[in-house]
Chains A and B, each alone.
Chain A
Amino acid sequence: METALDFRVVWEYLSYFFIGRYPKGPVGGVALTLYLAAVSLVFSFLGGLVLGLLSVSRNRPVRWASMAVIQTIRGMPLLMVIFWMFFLLPALFGGGMPASWTVITALTLFTSAYMSEIVRAGIMGIPKGQTEAAVSTGLSHRQTMLHIVLPQALRNMIPSFVNQFVSMIKDTSLAFIVGVSELTQIANQVNNRTMLFPTEIFLFIAVVYFIMCFAFTELSRWLERRLAYSKAI
């Protein structure tokens, strides 16, 4: 306990932490963190849905191939995926891709694999009687999925999706590594500039992250209770 904590540095850079250099420059900080998380979430929802449906496909090679992709991605650290994208995307599409899109692509790829497991579990969790009833009323496999199984399964998956969003917010901090100026990167810049207040700065952003994530964790718990309640009736 050498020195007392001095949080004036946080106050001084407050707008920088929340919106980056905006309006004089690009948006950053908390705003960019939430933007990255939200955009990646939308894409990985779609990716997860596609991968999840492929992994319960009746076509065996398709099922195996999608499982192999999912398991490989799940076996990698997110950092590895980010480096791959950082390295491969310019090689494939030429340079000029903004770093934030590298991160969004990596987060989407990574989270889609986890989302697909949620989707698969959700589909498996719908009683078999439902599918049988649907098929015997004359619906095709595709129609059964689209109109009977998925609407129910997706509803049950909502809490898990919100949980994934929480992980996503935490994962955006890795964008720091490729130089995207989201909250963690901003904290590092402020720390490099001011030098003397690392404890205050990192405690502050930890609390900011905590507030964002905890709010969504609570939302997910509330949704879970509500869904359980409406199912019980």
Chain B
Amino acid sequence: MNYHFDWAVVTSGKYFEWLVSGVHVTVKLSLVSIALSFLLGLVVAIMRMSPFRPVLWFAHGYLEFFRNTPLLVQIFFWYFGSYKILPVAVNDWMVRQDFEFAAAVIALTIYTSAFIAEDIRSGVRSIPKEQMEAARSSGFSYIRSMRYIILPQAVRLTIPPLINQFLNLMKNSSLAMTIGVAELMYQARQVESYTFKGFEAFSAATIVYVGLSFSITGLMTVYRRKLLKPLKAR
């Protein structure tokens, strides 16, 4: 093979800036989506444990459906097909935003929230039942016992799986390139098609993705060692 390596393409100049802007979009997309997925996941998890049957069934259906459908299909659905079923106001709002980015955030949020809800639920289930009984018998309502007694403990246990979901979300955000969100993968493709330096462009993107993944994994290890262990020992 007589391939001529030219790393300067991706370490400086215009193409470097493209890649950097791609990293920015990837990080922004991941952070916005993880925050929203956490909130949505929390709501769905609470609904999933609701004593009221129809709510429970709805949450169960939501979880199963979004977990068992490919993210790419969900992204296409929100991007191409959501206008027929969304209220006009929501649609207009989405169009006024960066539409691709908004569709990607919606798809990533809904997909990830289904996984997060299950993590939160298993966190809650690991809290002894007596805690709930004690809370209820001292006069807290169901919602309030959740809010003040169960969730503060459960969320702490849920943080490692949550960080793991964040890791998956960050990697999944690369699918947003299919609808034209200019995140890292998209920019790497762009650099490749402009310069024919695919090896360099993909290497740069790989290094960034693996670097981000390792940092997130490191975060989890630190959390486990520094925060969770002393908590459990108490």
What residues make up the interface of A, taking CB atoms closer than 8 Å to B?
1-3, 5, 71-72, 74-80, 83-84, 87, 91, 166, 169-174, 176-177, 184, 187-188, 191, 198-203, 205-206, 209-210, 213-214, 217
Contacts and interface: CB of A to CB of B under 8 A. Distances in A.
Given A5-B84, A199-B83, A173 B72 contact: yes
A165 to B, nearest CB: 12
A2 B172 CA distance: 31
A5 B81 CA distance: 11
Interface SS, B side? helix
Contacts of B174: 77, 79-80
B153 interface: no
Contact of B202 (A84, A203, A205): A84
Given A75-B213, A76-B209, A174-B175, A206 B82 contact: no
Nearest to B174: A77
A1 to B, nearest CB: 7
Contacts, number: 121
Nearest to B211: A75
Which of A79, A191, A205 gathers most chain B CB within 10 Å? A79
Given A80-B206, A87-B202, A170-B69, A203 B81 contact: yes
A79 B84 contact: no
Given A87-B199, A210-B65, A79 B175 contact: yes
Given A87-B199, A174-B175, A199-B81, A75 B209 contact: yes
A25 to B, nearest CB: 23
A202 B76 contact: yes
A184 B76 contact: yes
Given A83-B202, A173-B72, A210-B69, 8 more contacts: A75-B209, A75-B217, A79-B185, A87-B202, A166-B68, A170-B71, A201-B81, A210-B68
16 contacts: A2-B84, A5-B85, A87-B199, A87-B202, A170-B71, A172-B70, A176-B178, A184-B76, A198-B84, A200-B81, A202-B73, A206-B77, A210-B64, A210-B65, A213-B68, A213-B69
Interface in B152-178: 171-175, 177-178
Among A75, A76, A201, A203, the most chain B Cβ lie within 10 Å of the Cβ of: A75
B87 interface: yes
Contacts of A177: 178
Nearest to A4: B84
B73 A72 contact: no
Nearest to A196: B84
Contacts of B209: 75-77, 80
Contacts of B70: 169-173, 184, 209
B81 A198 contact: yes
B120 interface: no
Contacts of B8: none
Interface in B175-190: 175, 177-178, 185, 188-189
B210 interface: yes
Nearest to A216: B68
A83 B70 CA distance: 19
B85 to A, nearest CB: 6
A212 to B, nearest CB: 8
B25 to A, nearest CB: 14
B72 A176 contact: yes
A170 B80 CA distance: 19
A203 to B, nearest CB: 7
A199 B205 CA distance: 33
A209 B210 contact: no
B213 A1 contact: no
Contact of A174 (B67, B72, B83, B210): B72
A202 B77 contact: yes
B73 A205 contact: yes
Contacts of B87: 1
Nearest to A169: B70
A87 B174 CA distance: 17
A80 B72 contact: no
A200 B202 CA distance: 36
B206 A76 contact: yes
A34 B168 CA distance: 24
A177 B171 CA distance: 16
Contact of B68 (A74, A78, A188, A217): A217
A11 to B, nearest CB: 17
